[in-house]
Amino acid sequence: MSEQKKFFGETAILTPANAITVGRLLLTPVFIWMIVHWGATWATAGVGALVAFSDGFDGIVARRMGSTRSGAFLDPLIDKIVVLACLITLGIEHKLPWLPIGIIAARELWMTWYRWSAAKRGLSIPARKSAKIKTLIQDLSIAIVVLPVTASLHWLHVSLIWLAAIATVYTGAQYYFDGRRVEKARQT
């Protein structure tokens, strides 16, 4: 199998994948406004789905056209901003409990700092499949609150946000130990 042509080098910034990622960030305030003013409607759920699915789409575009360092930095950072903004909004709206939101926020902020400090030392901590599953659970915990058919199932909202918090802590521990291994391997 031949290697696909890469349209963008590793240092490119203005790429279609990055445009999709930034678009997700720009669409998030619209989604939040809809949550606050419209609540659980099909329109709100549709915009939320667009925000969530664009995360996977930018990855497909990046793999086909050439992944970049800027994309590797921007995508997870914007993912965290989007998820935390939505979760905090749902907490303010009394749709989700604050404790699991706080746990998720603490881990996401810590992970951003951890990966940034590792990168400053020249270390790259590769992404894990479990982190994609964690993001999916976080997205689902937001989706079930804004979907009209599940909006009244508070027990499901609480269960899923706690599952998201557990997955978030678990993947944080994985990344921490991955970073330690990378650092030890570099020292030998």
pLDDT by residue (tens digit) across 66-92?
Answer: 777 777 778 888 999 999 999 999 999
- The pLDDT of 159-182, averaged and rounded, is 94
Percentage with pLDDT > 70 across the chain: 94
How far apart, in whole angstroms, are the C-alpha atoms of residue 115 and residue 123?
8
The predicted pLDDT at position 1 comes to: 40
Q: Decide if pLDDT at 31 tops 50.
A: yes
Neighbouring C-beta atoms of residue 148, cutoff 10 Å: 12
How far apart, in whole angstroms, are the C-alpha atoms of residue 183 and residue 186?
5
pLDDT in tens, 121-139: 888 777 788 988 999 999 9
The predicted pLDDT at position 8 comes to: 67
The predicted pLDDT at position 52 comes to: 92
Helices (H), 66-97: 69-92
16-183 folds as Four Helix Bundle (Hemerythrin (Met), subunit A) (1.20.120)
Percentage with pLDDT > 90 across the chain: 58
Q: What is the pTM of this model?
A: 0.88
Q: Decide if pLDDT at 4 tops 60.
A: no
CA 17, 116, 92, 150 torsion-angle sign:
positive
How far apart, in whole angstroms, are the C-alpha atoms of residue 139 and residue 141?
5
